[in-house]
Amino acid sequence: MAKIDLDTLSIEELAGLREHATDKLFEKVAARRAELEAELEKLAQYGKAPVKKAESAPPPKAKKAEEAKEPKEAKEPKEQVAKAA
């Protein structure tokens, strides 16, 4: 592939180059997609897809006994302290 000095190209030439590159990219993507779809059709003759791995278990939740160990004062706001003054 020939090297192109992009700094010497005009805006119109750069826009044309961009359009050409985009068209080529779409052509290659379409061709690859067709190849992959053909491969999938070949593989489909062998039956179902393999079973996926089971999802990992969710993280364990805190036990109620651990929640009960926390002092009740920590859960309730201390608003009455300011009224005593």
Q: Which pTM does this prediction carry? A: 0.47
Q: Which two tokens stand for residue 52?
A: 């996926």
Question: Domain segments of the chain: what residues?
Answer: 8-48
Q: Which residues, 6 or more positions from 17, have their beta carbon under 8 angstroms from its beta carbon?
A: 4, 9
> Residue 57: what pLDDT?
60
Q: Which residues, 6 or more positions from 9, have their beta carbon under 8 angstroms from its beta carbon?
A: 17
| Residue 56 identity | S
Helix or strand run (H / E) with residue 11 = helix 11-44
> Residue 77: what pLDDT?
55
Task: Give the chain's mean pLDDT.
Answer: 78
What's the mean pLDDT in 22-39?
A: 97
> Residue 78: what pLDDT?
55
